[in-house]
């Protein structure tokens, strides 16, 4: 006789999330990477600027380096005429000092010659016969000059520990000559499915078998949110083998099972977890995804996700992503959102916080949820709306916030 083990009590979502966050310890392991490979990683040590950027006063325009006072009163009909005494290109050092009545031709980014304190744009000049240059507009001191250390000053903090490295911050590191940085390692997430019916895509299906969807959706989410997915072979519905699989998987920073967290006698994740660790809760007041197990083996958080693809995937977004990013020391995930009218009425389950998938069509949020077992509930949706536990109906035309995938 089959003995069912129903979930008699469920936790509100906010309480479940608090317990999950309490079980998460930010990663301490550090690795050293070239900056070309460090975008998206979290800096583990502060970086000080070793020198000024720019390291010298430089021309901000193509034109002529001048003593600004020599240009005062210049105009289109009464230009000032200066004598050109040299040229400076980028990557070169000036060979001439600018004295009163003189100028030096400069390229954008070239070092300013001694004596000059401004640059006249080439568009406001005209060469004469010989070495003369007509100046048609006055400039003031420091005009069109990039000052030394205007961007970065030697000895001052450039980036701090915990800063997320993005393209602009990588550029700042390159600007001060940094080639390698210490960053926190990506958390390792063990991903495995349970069930005798699970077959990896690419293999032929036998009677009663299905392809393993959840392993691949979970792996994709882990990679997008700062983790490294560690694949494990499917675990059969046999308690000793499941216990062994959990022990091996717990060498990772997070363990995520899918399947085996419902109410049947062969749903053994709770029993296996209790043999090697602790169960913190079983069952959340959400839809889909109610039969979720969360526990811990030593300091390693363990998720037992429902086997249904939509339930597993929605729980990964709302439960796994926050704790993964917390362990990875990444900023909290902020999905892009749009506010749109709902195309038709939704009847929700009172008492359970619902994640309801929608498509965006003709400027409306169109309900897309089919069933927890249908992956197309997610794959054919653009995002989801959240319906609070105390809300049972969302009327057509009501404005809803769509969180985009």
Q: How confident is the model at residue 267 (pLDDT cuts 50, 70, 90)?
A: low
Where are any strands of DSSP class E within 130-176?
132-135, 145-146, 157-159
- Which tops the pLDDT comparison, 204 or 139? 139
Task: For residues 140 and 285, state if they share a domain.
Answer: no
Residues paired with 68 in a beta bridge = none
pLDDT band per the 50, 70, 90 thresholds, residue 212: confident
Q: Are residues 271 and 203 in the same domain?
A: yes
Please tell me the total count of domains within the chain: 4
52-91 residue pLDDT tens: 999 999 999 999 999 999 999 999 999 999 999 999 999 9
Do 193 and 224 belong together in one domain?
A: yes
Based on the fold, state whether residues 169 and 251 are members of the same structural domain. Answer: no
Residue 299 parent element (H or E): none
Q: How far apart are CA 79 and CA 71, in angstroms?
A: 8
* pLDDT of res. 377: 74
Distances in Å between the alpha carbon of 69 and those of 61, 65, 103, 120?
Answer: 19, 12, 12, 12
Q: Give pLDDT, residue 319.
A: 93
Sign of CA dihedral 62, 63, 68, 73: negative
Helix (H, G, I), strand (E, B) or coil at 224: helix
Residue 8 lies in a domain: no
Residue 381 dihedral angles phi and psi, to the nearest 5° = -110, 160
Contact (Cβ atoms closer than 8 angstroms) between residue 340 and residue 365: yes
Q: What is the pLDDT at residue 260? A: 57
pLDDT digits (tens, 9 = 90+) for 126-168: 999 889 999 999 999 999 999 999 889 999 999 999 999 999 9
**The pLDDT value given to residue 266:** 44
pLDDT tens digits, one per residue of 34-49:
999 999 999 999 999 9
Range list of β-strands (E), 89-166: 102-106, 118-121, 125-127, 132-135, 145-146, 157-159
Task: Write b or e for each residue in 54-73: b if 16 or more Cβ atoms lie within 10 A of its Cβ, otherwise e.
Answer: beebbbbbbbbbbbbebbee
> What number of other Cβ atoms are within 10 A of residue 74's Cβ?
20
Residue 159 shares a structural domain with residue 47: yes
In a domain, 2, yes or no: no
DSSP letter at 124? G
Predicted pLDDT of residue 71: 97
Which structural domain, as residue segments, surrounds residue 213? 13-28+186-328
Q: pLDDT-based confidence at 272, cuts 50/70/90?
A: confident
CATH of the domain at 242: 3.40.980.10
What pLDDT does 56 receive?
Answer: 94
pLDDT for the residue numbered 213: 86
């Amino acid at each position: 006789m089959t003995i069912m083990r129903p979930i008699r009590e469920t936790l509100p979502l906010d309480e479940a999330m608090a317990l999950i966050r309490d079980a998460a310890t930010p990663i301490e392991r550090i690795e050293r990477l070239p900056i070309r490979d460090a975008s998206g990683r979290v800096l583990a040590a502060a970086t000080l600027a070793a020198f000024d950027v720019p390291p010298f006063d430089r021309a901000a325009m193509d034109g002529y380096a001048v003593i600004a006072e020599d240009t005062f009163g210049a105009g289109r009909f009464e230009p000032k005429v200066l004598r050109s005494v040299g040229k400076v290109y980028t990557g070169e050092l000036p060979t001439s000092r600018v004295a009163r009545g003189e100028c030096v031709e400069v390229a954008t980014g070239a070092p300013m010659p001694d004596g000059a304190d401004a640059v006249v744009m080439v568009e406001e000049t005209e060469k004469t016969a010989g070495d003369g240059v007509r100046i048609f507009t006055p400039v003031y001191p420091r005009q069109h000059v990039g000052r030394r250390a205007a961007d970065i000053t030697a000895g001052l903090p450039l980036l701090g520990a915990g800063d997320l490295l993005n393209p602009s911050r990588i550029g700042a590191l390159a600007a001060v000559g940094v080639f390698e940085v210490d960053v926190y390692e990506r958390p390792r997430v063990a991903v495995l499915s349970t069930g005798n019916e699970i077959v990896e895509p690419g293999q032929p299906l036998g009677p009663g078998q299905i392809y393993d969807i959840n392993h691949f959706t979970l792996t994709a989410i882990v990679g997008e949110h700062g983790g490294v997915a560690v694949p494990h072979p499917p675990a059969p519905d046999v308690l000793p083998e499941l216990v062994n699989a959990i022990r091996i998987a717990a060498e990772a920073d997070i363990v995520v099972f899918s399947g085996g967290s419902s109410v049947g006698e062969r749903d053994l994740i709770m029993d296996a977890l209790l043999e090697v660790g602790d169960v913190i809760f079983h069952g959340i007041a959400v839809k889909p995804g109610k039969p979720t197990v969360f526990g811990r083996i030593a300091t390693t958080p363990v998720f037992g996700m429902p086997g249904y693809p939509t339930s597993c995937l929605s729980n990964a977004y709302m439960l796994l992503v926050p704790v993964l990013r917390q362990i990875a020391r990444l900023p909290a995930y902020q999905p892009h959102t749009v506010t749109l009218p709902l195309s038709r009425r939704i009847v929700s389950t009172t008492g359970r916080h619902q994640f309801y998938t929608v498509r965006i069509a003709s400027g409306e949020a169109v309900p897309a949820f089919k069933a927890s077992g249908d992956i197309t509930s997610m794959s054919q949706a653009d995002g989801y709306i959240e319906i609070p536990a105390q809300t049972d109906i969302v009327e057509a035309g009501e404005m809803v916030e769509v969180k985009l995938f």
